[in-house]
């Protein structure tokens, strides 16, 4: 919240104004289009300086097509579709799909449709996955570029994001893959490859980064492959483009970095500014607790990185949060908030007012935090432009299925979205 108030206070003003005028409902993430665009521009300026390419990780902002297209217009190569649902939800708007299969393999039943999107690269975790891709690519008369993920001892892998080829088996597996028709192995990847170090107070490469680089070199020397991409996502932001290049990487995948919500961007001023807020309203009170409409706080608020001893830091239920409550930024009261942690319901969110603080049902509530994962929530997401000119204009509200809707939830259709994209 300190960072938000200091670096993008006009977004708070826009959020309060749009909610008070009933243009956006409670439980809405408000996305500042111009801030996202400027943040992407700052990242790409550094990327060009160090000859790093980037794909946009859009799940954090609920795969919003307006933000995606604006970011791509700044020179990012396309969107990372972590899941096939993400690829489908953006392809229907004509948004360029750049990277698929990482961190989730494309299901067999979706392979044909995803192939029709002509993704630039496709990550496969095994020879079996590559066979499916090869079969569809051959039938479509296309050569599909593949990335492989080494799984080396000492790499950090989150339980629900685990996959790849064991490092000691990598050469023999890739040797089989490159014999398949209509596919070409052109690089390596892993995740996470960079982490925020709480001791050094900066982002640094971790074991996965070096595994991806080492695997690429092995494929060059042992199989004679031309490696064009070493994709090292995680904490991709303007200040890490140099780190990626200096340690052997070629590609990043900024997501939260474009939204200005990474730990380094929160703890220390960076070129990017906070580009989103969560907006809701007071529902009721009970005793000394105030409750606000929820649904959108499944995994926001904190960060991840490493402690000085190398152990993993993932913010949890002890996270300290607060919110602004009121009808204007100048008069809003700052109130301590309880982070619901991994509670999947979060029907109501809890505020803990100080003695003497009083509020009214319907009052606007604005949260500021880092690392949103809007796609995991039941929140609406809305796009606003003109914030920095203090003349906010709502471009559209989207539901949880990434559909443009009116304020009552009625579908407005893909063509309306495409019309907006043409103005960007």
Tokens of 101: 């299969």
Q: What is the pLDDT of residues 393-410, one digit of tens each?
A: 999 999 999 999 998 999
CA angle 418, 28, 303 (to 5 degrees): 105
CA 130 to chain centre: 26
Rounded to whole angstroms, how far apart are CA atoms 262 and 3? 12
Q: What is the pLDDT of residues 217-252, one digit of tens each?
A: 999 999 999 999 999 999 999 999 999 999 999 999
Tokens of 107: 């299901």
299: pLDDT confidence band, cut at 50, 70 and 90?
Answer: low
Q: Evaluate if residue 128 carries a pLDDT over 90.
A: yes
319: pLDDT confidence band, cut at 50, 70 and 90?
Answer: low
| Concatenated DSSP letters of 310-354 | S-EEE--TT-EEEEEESSSTTTPEEEEEE--TT-S--SEEEEEPP
* Number of other residues whose CB lies within 10 A of the CB of residue 357: 14
Which domains occur in the chain, in start order?
2-30+269-421 (2.40.37.30), 77-253 (3.20.20.10)
371: pLDDT confidence band, cut at 50, 70 and 90?
Answer: confident
Tokens of 298: 């499944």
Q: Choose the weakest-confidence range: 183-192, 252-261, 281-290, 372-381.
A: 372-381
Give every CB contact of residue 81 below 8 A, 6+ residues apart in sequence.
Answer: 87, 90, 97, 99, 100, 114, 119
Q: Average pLDDT for residues 315-342, to the nearest whole number? A: 83
Q: Average pLDDT for residues 169-197, to the nearest whole number? A: 97
**What value does the mean pLDDT of the chain take?**
94
Task: Identify the pLDDT of residue 307.
Answer: 82
340: pLDDT confidence band, cut at 50, 70 and 90?
Answer: confident
Tokens of 250: 């070629």
Task: Identify the pLDDT of residue 69.
Answer: 98
Do the Cβ atoms of 188 and 149 come closer than 8 Å? Answer: yes
Q: What is the pLDDT of residues 95-116, one digit of tens each?
A: 999 999 999 999 999 999 999 9
Task: Identify the pLDDT of residue 187.
Answer: 98
117: pLDDT confidence band, cut at 50, 70 and 90?
Answer: very high
Q: Is 207 exposed, middle or buried (0-12, 13-18, 19+ CB in 10 A)?
A: middle
Do the Cβ atoms of 192 and 257 come closer than 8 Å? Answer: no
Task: Identify the pLDDT of residue 370.
Answer: 78
Task: Identify the pLDDT of residue 311.
Answer: 81
Rounded to whole angstroms, how far apart are CA atoms 45 and 238? 8
Q: Average pLDDT for residues 345-351, to the nearest whole number? A: 93
Q: CA-based Rg of the chain, rounded to a whole angstrom?
A: 22
Angle of helix 127-139 relative to helix 170-177, nearest 10 degrees?
20
Q: Average pLDDT for residues 28-34, to the nearest whole number? A: 98
**Residue 286: which H helix or E strand, with range?**
strand 276-286
- Tell me the torsion sign for CA atoms 117, 122, 125, 128: positive
pTM > 0.75: yes or no = yes
303: pLDDT confidence band, cut at 50, 70 and 90?
Answer: low
Q: Of 294, 291, 366, 300, give the one whose Cα is nearest residue 333.
A: 366
Q: Is 258 exposed, middle or buried (0-12, 13-18, 19+ CB in 10 A)?
A: buried
Q: Evaluate if residue 44 carries a pLDDT over 80.
A: yes
Question: What's phi and psi for 210, nearest 5 deg?
Answer: -70, -30
Rounded to whole angstroms, how far apart are CA atoms 118 and 172? 27
Q: Evaluate if residue 290 carries a pLDDT over 70.
A: yes
Q: Average pLDDT for residues 322-346, to the nearest whole number? A: 88
Alpha carbon distance, N-terminus to C-terminus of the chain: 29
Q: Evaluate if residue 357 carries a pLDDT over 70.
A: yes
**Residue 126: which H helix or E strand, with range?**
none
What is the residue whose two structure tokens read 């505020």? 351
Look at phi and psi of residue 119 and say left if phi exceeds 0, alpha if psi is from -120 to 50, else beta. Answer: beta
Within 13 Å of residue 50, how many CA atoms lie on the same side as its CB?
24
């Amino acid at each position: 919240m300190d960072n938000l108030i200091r670096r993008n206070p006009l977004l708070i003003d826009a959020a309060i104004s749009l909610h008070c005028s009933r243009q956006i409902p409670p439980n809405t993430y408000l996305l500042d289009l111009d801030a996202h665009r400027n943040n992407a521009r700052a990242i790409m300026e550094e990327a060009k300086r160090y000859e790093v390419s980037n794909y946009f990780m859009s799940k954090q902002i609920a795969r919003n097509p307006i933000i995606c297209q604006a970011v791509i217009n700044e020179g990012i190569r396309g969107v990372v579709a972590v899941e096939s649902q993400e690829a489908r939800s953006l392809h229907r708007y004509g948004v360029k799909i750049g990277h698929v299969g990482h961190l989730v393999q494309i299901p067999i039943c979706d392979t044909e449709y995803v192939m029709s999107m002509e993704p630039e690269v496709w990550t496969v975790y095994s020879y079996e996955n590559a066979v499916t891709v090869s079969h569809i690519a051959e039938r479509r008369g296309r050569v599909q570029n593949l990335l492989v993920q080494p799984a080396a001892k000492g790499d950090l892998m989150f339980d629900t994001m685990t996959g790849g080829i064991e490092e000691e088996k990598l050469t023999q597996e890739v040797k089989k893959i490159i014999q398949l028709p209509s596919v070409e192995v052109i690089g390596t990847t892993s995740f996470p490859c960079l982490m925020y170090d709480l001791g050094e107070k900066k982002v640094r490469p971790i074991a996965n980064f070096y595994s991806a680089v080492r695997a690429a070199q092995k494929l060059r020397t042992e199989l004679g492959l031309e490696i064009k991409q070493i994709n090292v996502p995680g904490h991709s932001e303007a200040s890490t483009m140099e780190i990626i290049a200096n340690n052997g990487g070629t590609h990043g995948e900024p997501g939260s970095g474009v939204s200005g919500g990474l730990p380094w961007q929160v703890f220390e001023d960076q070129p990017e500014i906070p580009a989103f807020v969560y907006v809701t309203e007071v529902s009721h009170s009970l005793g000394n607790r105030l409750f606000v409409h929820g649904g959108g706080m499944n995994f926001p608020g904190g960060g991840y990185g490493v402690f000085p001893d190398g152990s993993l830091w993932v913010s949890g239920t002890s996270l300290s949060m607060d919110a602004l409550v009121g009808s204007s930024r100048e008069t809003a009261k700052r109130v301590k908030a309880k982070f619901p942690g991994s509670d999947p319901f979060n029907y109501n969110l809890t505020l803990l007012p100080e003695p003497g603080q009083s509020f009214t049902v319907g009052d606007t509530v604005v949260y500021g935090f880092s690392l949103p994962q809007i796609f995991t929530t039941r929140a609406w997401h809305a796009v606003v432009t003109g914030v920095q000119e203090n003349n906010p204009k709502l471009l559209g509200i989207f539901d949880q299925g990434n559909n443009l809707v009116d304020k009552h939830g009625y579908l407005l259709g893909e063509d309306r979205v495409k019309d907006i994209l043409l103005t960007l």
